Chain A
Amino acid sequence: MSTTSAAPPAPLPIRSRRWFARRGSRVAPLKYLGLLLVAIVVLMPVYVLLVTSFKTLTEIDAAHAWSLPSSWTLDAWRQAWDELSPNMANSFKLAIPATLISVVLGSLNGFVLSKWRFPGADVVFTFLLFGMFIPYQAVMIPLTQLFDDANVPTGIPRLVFAHVVYGIPITALIFRNYYATIPDDLLEAARMDRAGMFRTYWSIILPLSAPAFVVAAIWQFTSIWNDFLFAVFLITDPVSWPVTVALNNTTGSLVTPFNLQMAAALLASLPTLLVYILLGRYFMRGLMAGALKG
């Protein structure tokens, strides 16, 4: 999402609880009340999504808007699945290869930019980084033209290519920041052995890279799965639509009942939600890598 930091942010340490001890019981309950209140507000859309998605058509009116369904049904979910499953498949066919290519590229670039530096490496890094802030609208018209002129196969291959290219800056950033935390001494041994670049990468850097791969892969998978802009500009054939575009299309019309809208939205979000629930810690690190130093 954004810019450079010297190191991947350390896990947030738990601070001393002295303030608690001193200010004691009068402030603490208020604090928890505030935190809890915000948590409830943040989770409110989830309640709405869940509850509405299990309702029957008769219960989605204003009178029952916030209440639990009187009889739970999977009808809306079934219908959402029928409508969206081909597009879910498209999204997987798009996000998985694009993510894999991105992280491999990111790892190599990050390695060069932090551990096998060349004169002007920082200038090159800044040059790459700019690419992640641009409004992609500013490349969309020529990108479509270029794809057409070069006869790039339409559909998902175009999207994979675009996400790989425009994912170069953020993945380079994540890996570079991570590799910066590896002490140079570790590479010294390899240098003594007169090991070349690839052997150094393969035998020393790569085995240490697992956390960075996880962070970068989660980041790329989430942003590619959730992308709407590239898909809506680059994919004209509805058969190849990823799930975001299909979702927007099914729910965009006013005639779509609320229960179907909510079931569809939840279904389309399940993969990224699952990733977040299982690997939230790494997700957070990716976010912070996108932030800044200190």
Chain B
Amino acid sequence: MRGVRRWWPGLLLISPSIVLIAVFVYGLIGWNARVSATDWREANKTTNFVGLDVYRELRIDERFSLDLHHLLLFTVTFILGTLLIGGTLALLLDKGVRGEGFFRSVYLFPMAISFIASGIVWRWLMNPAPGDRASGLNVVFEKLHVGGLANQWWQGTNWGAAALAMPAVWALSGYIMALYLAGFRGVPEELREAARMDGASELRVYRHVVFPHLRPVTLAALIILGHISIKVFDLIVAIGGKQLVTEVPAVYMWVLIYDARDYAKGAAIATLLLIGISVLIVPYLIYTVRSERRA
């Protein structure tokens, strides 16, 4: 549109940022992948190339499989719970409610708090300890004479990861509510009105007019929640520390680096996390920037 003399200062101005991202994102990712292909398995650095050995090791590592199992259970609970609660809240707020601003602020406030801090309360709420050291929900169950509901929460070997997802659902439902609310209100009122004129019930207006409009929102929500879930780290550390029963890949990686000093294996897990996230994010990014250009 304009000549080179016009646009080059812009490119110059942004180039430090481009270089920083090129080096500290892409460069370091490459470097990390390289570390994962070496025999650097202890504090002393070694750089001998051993190929994919450590990935083969991870494939038969039972601890890593357990972590993946936890992550899967966590992810499913987290995504379903958040979409369900966030979506329902948005639906309830859609038509305008007295005190909407208040409700929105309340639902969103957990986003302002770190998982390290909120993890402390959730550890109290989901405390599996018996007797005098008990607290939180188990105490409520006892008081309501439904002691049978009291359970091991995140300490449970089978469903612990699902319990761990509860604080995450608590934290992000408000965000999903906000996404859907914006989505609902992006549906032109004329479309709803037209359907009503045709005699459609309000239920059918939602089902046939509003919901189909929300598919991009749901896609975005799924991708955002999915990538948060794959990365989950703070919350797990805050509640379970380094316990095996709550461990997910990101925590395993941390333990490998900090306690075992097994850099190659830690780097390999980090690379696998990155691949998992890229599969979600890259197509979405390209799609979004492209469709924006078309608009």
Contact = CB atoms under 8 A, between A and B. Distances in A.
Nearest to A61: B132
Given A122-B289, A168-B21, A31 B92 contact: yes
B120 A139 contact: no
A9 B96 contact: no
A45 B32 contact: no
Interface residues of A, number: 108
B28 A142 contact: yes
Contact of B274 (A39, A134, A294): A134
Name which of A129, A135, A252, A258 has the most chain B CB atoms within 10 A of its CB: A135
B285 A39 contact: no
B230 interface: yes
B253 A261 contact: no
Given A3-B284, A128-B18, A262-B120, A139 B29 contact: yes
Contacts of A138: 28-29, 32, 270-271, 273-274
Interface in A1-56: 1-6, 9, 12-17, 19-20, 22-23, 31-32, 34-35, 38-39, 41-45, 48-49, 52
Contacts of A204: none
Interface stretch (B52-60, B70-78, B111-119): B111-119
A284 to B, nearest CB: 6
Given A39-B107, A42-B110, A168-B17, A13 B124 contact: no
A135 B96 contact: no
A49 B136 CA distance: 11
A57 interface: no
B4 to A, nearest CB: 9
Interface stretch (A69-77, A92-100, A152-160, A226-234): A226-234
Interface string A146-185: 1000000000000000000110110010000000000000
Contacts of B95: 15-17, 19-20
Contacts of A239: none
A288 B107 contact: no
Interface residues of B, number: 108
B273 to A, nearest CB: 4
Interface in B125-155: 125, 131-136, 139-140
A211 to B, nearest CB: 17
A16 B122 CA distance: 39
The B interface, classified by DSSP as helix, strand, loop or mixed, is helix
Nearest to A197: B9
B263 A141 contact: yes
A32 to B, nearest CB: 7
Q: Does more than half of chain A's interface fall in helix, strand or loop, or is it mixed?
A: helix
Contacts of B292: 4-6, 293
A1 B95 CA distance: 28
A272 interface: yes
A48 B125 CA distance: 9
Contacts of B182: 9, 12, 288, 291, 294
A66 B139 contact: yes
A62 B131 contact: yes
Nearest to A248: B116
Nearest to B289: A126
Contacts of B282: 130
Interface stretch (B61-69, B156-164, B234-242): B234-242
Contacts of A226: 113-116
B270 A137 contact: yes
A204 to B, nearest CB: 15
Contact of B202 (A15, A23, A134): A23
A117 interface: yes
10 contacts: A4-B288, A35-B97, A63-B132, A116-B7, A126-B286, A135-B231, A137-B231, A137-B254, A137-B266, A280-B108
Given A4-B285, A272-B114, 6 more contacts: A41-B170, A109-B17, A142-B32, A247-B120, A273-B112, A293-B288
